[in-house]
Structure 1
Amino acid sequence: MPKKEGGPRECPLASALEVVGERWSLLVLREVFYGVRRFEGIAQNTGAPRDVLTARLRKLSECGVLRRVQYSERPARSEYHLTEAGMELAPTLITLLAWGRKWASERPLPSAPFVHVCGAPLQAALTCLACGGRVTGADVSLDPSRVKPPETGTGEDPERAEGPPRGGRSP
């Protein structure tokens, strides 16, 4: 579908949020990553209303994040398994779990149960493609040549817009 003139900015983040951005979707993914594959277990561990959970499982399957595998014909029952696209969400989920533990929890929570094949705990890290250095929030700047100016029609000067500093660390 063509983008409307003056409509929202096209963005892969917006596209990703259409698939996994809803609260119950992320909690469903957490459970499947934890090895819970059946509807009843996912429902119990997330607290999601059954109709909402059914809709989220359907959407995640239709979008190729989960694969539905029937394990019983009578009654018809399915398990949900991560696809390649679903597995690629592991670093994102690990990062959100760590952020939630640090910034959004009222009490100390244990670290995420994910480990590397060697058995060591994992920490998601963003790295620079050129130098391989680890990136923190303070290291991020905006390259204006990679961002299409917004079509706001408000007369706003994109050069004066708030956002990450350009060309280096903030003071």
Structure 2
Amino acid sequence: MTEKIVCPVDRTMNLINKKWSILIIRDMFFGKKHFKEFKEDKDISNKVLSGCLNELEENGIIEKSVLNTKPVSTQYHLTEYGKSLNKVIYELAMFTLNNDTEKDYSDKTRQDLKDTFKKTLGIND
């Protein structure tokens, strides 16, 4: 019997392929988040957000904590496995910042964003 080889890029994309997953992961590099915080700058329904969070949790990328507050609330954070996506997210950001053909960013804004991503994601040159 021969071993079926699965492309590692395909495997990674299957972990993060939902429309909002990579943005949710990116947001969590800035710290723990409550459910409602994910919605602040996104046009995403509760149902879709809940589904994304559940899938990321099932894949071991995030963990959910139920807080003993009134009313009860949940908080999400990246696992070590989830944090290992830092270079993927960094390279996605750098692709746009280094190849911005639309000129959406001034040179200062571009550099500020590069510095912010590098610091937040813990990227060392």
Give me the TM-score of the superposition, normalised by structure 1. 0.57
- The aligned counterpart of 2:38 is 42
Q: Is residue 32–residue 77 contact of structure 2 (8 Å, CA) maintained in 1?
A: no
Q: Is residue 94–residue 123 contact of structure 1 (8 Å, CA) maintained in 2?
A: no
> How many percent of aligned residue pairs carry the same amino acid?
23
1:64-116 deviations in Å (ceiling 9; x for gaps): 00010112454332111110110100011011011122335741054141345
Deviation of the 1:12 alpha carbon: 1.8
1:11-35 deviations in Å (ceiling 9; x for gaps): 1221211111223000101111122
Count of equivalent residues: 115
Change (3 A) 1:48 1:105: farther
Gaps of 5+ in 2: none
Which residue of 75, 97, 102 maps to 2:71?
Answer: 75
C-alpha separation between the residues in 1 aligned to 2:53 and 2:101? 27
- The aligned counterpart of 2:56 is 60
One-letter amino acid of the structure 2 residue matched with residue 19 of structure 1: L
C-alpha separation between the residues in 2 aligned to 1:101 and 1:52? 29
Q: Is residue 25–residue 56 contact of structure 1 (8 Å, CA) maintained in 2?
A: yes
Deviation of the 1:36 alpha carbon: 5.1
Change (3 A) 1:99 1:36: farther
C-alpha separation between the residues in 2 aligned to 1:43 and 1:13? 28
C-alpha separation between the residues in 1 aligned to 2:38 and 2:32? 6
Once the two structures are superposed, the pairs formed by residues 143-162 of structure 1 within 5 Å of their partners are none
1:26 is paired with a residue whose SS is helix
Give me the TM-score of the superposition, normalised by structure 2. 0.75
Residue 31 in structure 1 maps to residue 27 in structure 2:
yes
Which residue of 9, 16, 20 maps to 1:20?
Answer: 16
- Structure showing greater radius of gyration is 1
- Which of the pair has the greater relative contact order for Cα pairs under 8 Å at 6+ separation? 2
- The aligned counterpart of 1:51 is 47
- The aligned counterpart of 1:100 is 96
One-letter amino acid of the structure 2 residue matched with residue 35 of structure 1: G
Change (3 A) 1:32 1:105: farther
- The aligned counterpart of 1:114 is 117
Deviation of the 1:122 alpha carbon: 4.2
C-alpha separation between the residues in 2 aligned to 1:104 and 1:24? 22
Gaps of 5+ in 1: 125-171
